[in-house]
Chains A and B, each alone.
Chain A
Amino acid sequence: MNPYITASLLFGLLLGTTITTTSTHWLIAWMGLEINTLAIIPLMAQQHHPRAIEATTKYFLTQAAAAATLLLAATTNAWMTGQWELQQATHPVPTTMITIALALKIGLAPLHTWLPEVMQGLDLTTGLILATWQKIAPFSLLLQIQPNNQTLLILLAILSMLVGGWGGLNQTQVRKILAYSSIAHLGWMVIILQFSPTLAVMTLALYIIMTSSTFLAFMMNKTTTIGTLTISWAKTPIISSLMPLILLSLGGLPPLTGFMPKWLILQELTKQDLGMTATLAALSALLSLYFYLRLSYAMTLTISPNNLTGTLPWRTQTNKKTLPTAILLSSSILLLPLTPEVLTLFNT
């Protein structure tokens, strides 16, 4: 792809998210989402591989359907109440439609089915953008609507956690596992959305950090299946030995960063007298933990046999950028002691 085209597409990605997150008007927010979708499509299809084209088509269709529903809901709201203010969608019909449209956009169960399929067709770099940056704009809209009842969002959240855990169990493809992990994490963000938006944003930020470091580590190894993960110890020994820590951090084990959002969310849910929901959420994390553990087992806890020349690639120097990987990796492992600091950072 021509670098000028790539630059304007990446600029479109930045612009779309910025417009959506800073707007107070439904029409402009919708425009931002559309810019986002349009800008990533050629990036997805740049490999010209049939799978990539298929993933692009699926992504485009779901995002277009979600955006159309969102626009319909926003115009309905404007028609009924005479204003386009983002935080003033008060009538239950448009609010519910907006919630469902945004759930389709970020991939919450039961509207999640496109996400693993799309992720599987992309290369890891575009997958990284899809799993992190593309979630920010719809999530910022989801934060700002005022739901009339709590049931819909909690139902979506619990379902996402369970589906994210169950769906990932039988996968051998790393990108699909990461997609299901994304669905489960979005469930955690959405469950706390109405009770503490601060915690929801913090969870999103930590999710982005942890998922980025996972993707960057897999990019370093060029691995997309569990089978090829097994020989990564010969390529990058240090990353391979740190990988279980990142994955278990995604799974939410103490004393790693990923424990922080789960801990605070469970505490907040208990404070809101939602003991049953909190228990369900905690138990669903076990399902996700299983496939994180499986990835770590394949990558680090066993050393798969290899011939002598196959064990040597670690001696050659990598020409990839390692600084972002290093920063994201250490922050996705070591942030738990800084919990009060992180909370203060996101407190509004």
Chain B
Amino acid sequence: MFYALVFLLLGMLVVMIVLSTNPAPFYGVFNLVLVALLCCGASVLHGGTFLSLVLLMIYMGGMLVVFIYSSALSADKDPKAPTGWQVVLFFFGYFFFVFGILYTNMVLDEEVWWGVSGEMDWDAVFRGDMDGVSLMYSSGGGVLLLGAWVLLLTLLVVLELVRGLGRGALRAV
């Protein structure tokens, strides 16, 4: 299990670095999907099963739409793949940057606990993530309502931005 976790976390870091050194949005979207998968895997290994399931379903749905739109709208005939010595330079630069920050702040500082909530109490009946969802429909109803309103507002914003065909915001200038 531990090796699987190390594999997932390292993969996450590598894909994240490839994502940030990537010149084309076309491949970037694919990298985002990979990052999401690996993150959900790491979170499952820490015990956050329900959370990662929800995240995966919603994120994949959203990413598919983003992927379709970016491939349709970016109008990149031959997207650049990340190649060349600059990418290698960036790759190692980012790797040591992230690793250095993690090492100095998280490993040396032993007071800080990086884990999913409820990971240590292995005999607990309720899990943090499922508990949270049930709370959202009871005492956290206000936030649910707020979230619904924000989604409606976002819909209005998007409709207002793309309205008007040639006069709208989405057009070739």
Residues of A within 8 A of B (CB): 1, 5, 8-9, 12, 15, 19, 28, 31, 34-35, 38-39, 41-42, 45-46, 48, 50, 53, 56, 79-80, 82, 91, 93
Residues of B within 8 A of A (CB): 105, 112-114, 117, 143, 146-147, 149-150, 153-154, 156-157, 160-161, 164, 167-169, 173
A38 contacts B160, C-beta separation under 8 Å: no
Q: Within 8 Å CB of A5, what residues of B?
A: 156, 160
A79 contacts B157, C-beta separation under 8 Å: no
Residue of A nearest to B146 (CB): A31
Q: Within 8 Å CB of B168, what residues of A?
A: 48
Picked from A28, A31, A35, A45, the residue with its CB within 8 Å of the CB of B161 is A45
Q: How far is the CB of A345 from chain B (nearest CB, A)?
A: 31
Q: Within 8 Å CB of A38, what residues of B?
A: 150, 153-154, 157
Q: How far is the CB of A65 from chain B (nearest CB, A)?
A: 13
Main secondary structure on B side of the interface with A: helix
Complex Cα–Cα for A50 and B114 (A): 46
B150 contacts A93, C-beta separation under 8 Å: no
Picked from A34, A35, A42, the residue with its CB within 8 Å of the CB of B160 is A42
Main secondary structure on A side of the interface with B: helix
B156 contacts A8, C-beta separation under 8 Å: yes
B157 contacts A42, C-beta separation under 8 Å: yes
B157 contacts A35, C-beta separation under 8 Å: no
Complex Cα–Cα for A45 and B161 (A): 7
- 23 example contacts (A-B, Cβ-Cβ < 8 A) are as follows A1-B160, A9-B153, A9-B156, A9-B157, A19-B146, A34-B150, A35-B150, A38-B153, A41-B157, A41-B161, A42-B156, A42-B157, A42-B160, A45-B160, A45-B161, A46-B160, A48-B168, A53-B173, A56-B169, A79-B114, A80-B113, A82-B117, A93-B105
Residue of A nearest to B160 (CB): A42
Contact A12:B153 (CB < 8 A) given known A48-B164, A48-B169, A80-B112? yes
Complex Cα–Cα for A310 and B117 (A): 72
Q: How far is the CB of A96 from chain B (nearest CB, A)?
A: 11
Q: Within 8 Å CB of B105, what residues of A?
A: 93
Residue of A nearest to B115 (CB): A79
Complex Cα–Cα for A149 and B114 (A): 25
* B112, B150, B164 — most chain A CB neighbours (10 Å): B150
B157 contacts A50, C-beta separation under 8 Å: no
B161 contacts A39, C-beta separation under 8 Å: no
Complex Cα–Cα for A1 and B168 (A): 12
A42 contacts B161, C-beta separation under 8 Å: yes
B143 contacts A28, C-beta separation under 8 Å: yes
Contact A8:B143 (CB < 8 A) given known A1-B160, A53-B173, A80-B112? no
Complex Cα–Cα for A119 and B153 (A): 24
Q: Within 8 Å CB of B173, what residues of A?
A: 50, 53
Q: How far is the CB of B147 from chain A (nearest CB, A)?
A: 8
Q: Within 8 Å CB of A39, what residues of B?
A: 153, 157
Complex Cα–Cα for A9 and B157 (A): 8
Q: Within 8 Å CB of B147, what residues of A?
A: 31
B150 contacts A31, C-beta separation under 8 Å: yes
Q: Within 8 Å CB of B156, what residues of A?
A: 5, 8-9, 42
Q: How far is the CB of B158 from chain A (nearest CB, A)?
A: 9
